[in-house]
Amino acid sequence: MEPTRIAVAGCGVAGLAAALFLTRDGHHVTVFDQLGAPAPLGSGLLLQPAGLAVIEELGLTDTIGALGQRIDALHGRAMPSDRVVLDVRYSALGADTHAIAIHRAALFHTLLRAAEQRGITIETGCGVEASDARSGGRIDLLCERGRRFGPFDLIVDALGIKSPLAAMDGGWLPFGALWANVEWPADATVSPHALTQRYRHASQMAGILPIGRPHGDAPNTCAFFWSLRAHDFDTWRAQPLDAWRDDVAALWPEAAALVAGCRNHKEFVFARYRHRTLRRPYAPGIVHIGDAAHATSPQLGQGANMALLDASALASALRETRAPDVAARAYARTRERHIRLYQALSYALTPLYQSDSTLAPLLRDRLFAPLARIWPMPAVLAALVSGSIGLSGPSRPRRSSRVVRGDAPLSQH
């Protein structure tokens, strides 16, 4: 049978993972990236146990484990009372259950090297603008400067929340976050194996996430993030950093010491979030994965994990049938329950941590936090954060030992 020709639009976590799975299954894959050379965007992220199962499928567990940082717990305190209001421990699911926090550059380059070793073609400098259906069910990809690529049997849209291929307008959340990567201090007073946060009401939030190393020779780093209203970003950028550091110190002195070496606003990236899900993550000749299909706030730390699970589920659907539109519908059915569950939970939980509400943080501190300590809630919360609730049947990632056509797992070197 002639190999299925697939265009993967977007060279991020979702796109590269999809390209690796699909190439391994014998499809002819080309990845399109808008940058002149593939590069990661963003700071650090948490690979939850559900996402780590996909990393294992790809045969990249050892590399990711060596570069990332094991995370055993999520811990948060409300200030100035110092009340513990977030205490989630992965050990509630088993002694060795954990997440891995990793620098986006480390995850990206691990996936990119694996793609290069597979001989996957990556077309750079191709800003995707639209698609154009041909007769016979095939489709072209239209890029800037009038360039046309194709025909393809399927376009996998992994272009993120601003994808021009996905009709996803609005849904922007009022709060975003400033992110910076800083070297992990030798005298750190926070745990190197936990995501640690501090809150004042729900309108101020700071967090420290140890994320390992961007590459093998680099020192250990951590991601620092600071909640900020989107409409306040220009004001923040116009004021001296020292004034902002005073705000950080008032909330969390240890965090202020962490960012003391940051001298320029450009050392911080401002990330905006939206909460939208495509009702139908496919169209003739196109299937949407990752943030292009379902965007949400980062409160449950599921963005990269959802992208990895989407890539695995799409590849699984295409193993069952070489008819792209049939596979796209099967992929959507497989992922629907899990995605909608976590979208709903994220929508409900976000006001507890990022909002101007006065009632939401009171409920968080006085009601939800005490209830979270009562059996069986510790295990339920750990399962929720791990990304495993709602995963069943075909949506569960296969183990890396179960590969198609006898192929070996992707190289880890």
d(CA 102, CA 219): 13
Taking the CA atoms of 93, 95, 97 and 99 in sequence, report the sign of the dihedral they define: positive
- Which residue is listed with tokens 């993030």? 225
d(CA 400, CA 13): 18
CATH number of residue 58's parent domain: 3.50.50.60
Is 246 inside a domain boundary?
A: no
* Model confidence, pTM: 0.93
Cα 410 versus chain centre, distance: 21
Residue 412: the pLDDT is 34
What tokens does 43 get? 């700071």
> Residue 410: its pLDDT value, please?
36
Enumerate residues 6+ apart whose C-beta is below 8 A from 336.
none
The per-residue pLDDT for range 40-84, each reduced to its tens digit, is 767 899 999 999 999 999 999 999 999 999 999 999 999 999 999
DSSP letter for each residue of 30-76:
EEE-SSSS----SSEEEE-HHHHHHHHHTT-HHHHHHHSEEE-EEEE
* CA angle (141 as vertex; 138, 144 as ends), nearest 5: 160
The sign of the dihedral angle between the CA atoms of 122, 124, 129, 133 is: negative
259 assigned to some structural domain: no
Task: State residue 168's pLDDT score.
Answer: 73
Backbone angles phi, psi at 317, to 5 degrees: -65, -40
In which residue are the tokens 């699909």 written? 22
- How much is the pLDDT for 403? 32
Helical (H) or strand (E) element with 338: helix 324-353
Rounded CA-CA distance 321/319 in Å is 6
| Cα 258 versus chain centre, distance | 24
Count of structural domains, the chain: 1
Nearest residue to 45 (alpha-carbon basis) of 234, 267, 271, 260: 271
pLDDT tens per residue across span 216-274: 899 999 999 999 999 999 999 999 999 999 999 999 999 998 999 898 999 999 999 99
Please indicate, yes or no, if residue 279 is contained in any of the structural domains.
Answer: yes
- Residue 323 is encoded by which pair of tokens? 């008819």
Residue ranges for the chain with pLDDT beneath 70: 1, 39, 41, 392-413
Give the pLDDT of residue 322.
81
Q: Which amino acid is at 275?
A: H
Residue 268 lies in a domain: no
The pLDDT of residue 186 is: 87
Inside any domain, residue 182: no
Of the candidates 148, 65, 13, 24, the residue with the CA atom closest to the CA atom of residue 404: 24
Tell me the residue range of the domain where 138 lies: 5-170+274-396
Question: To the nearest whole percent, how much of the chain has pLDDT over 70?
Answer: 94
Place of tokens 């705000």: 247
In a domain, 161, yes or no: yes
Whole-angstrom distance, CA of residue 76 vs CA of residue 87: 7
> Which DSSP string corresponds to 97-151?
--EEEEEHHHHHHHHHHHHHHTT-EEE-S--EEEEEE-GGG-EEEEEGGGEEEEE
Residue 108 and residue 40 in contact, taking contact as beta carbons nearer than 8 Å = yes
Residue 176, domain member (yes or no): no
Of the candidates 361, 335, 344, the one whose C-alpha atom is nearest the C-alpha of residue 297 is 344
Evaluate whether residue 89 is within a structural domain: yes
pLDDT for residue 220: 95
Q: What angle do CA 387, 388, 393 make, to 5 degrees?
A: 130
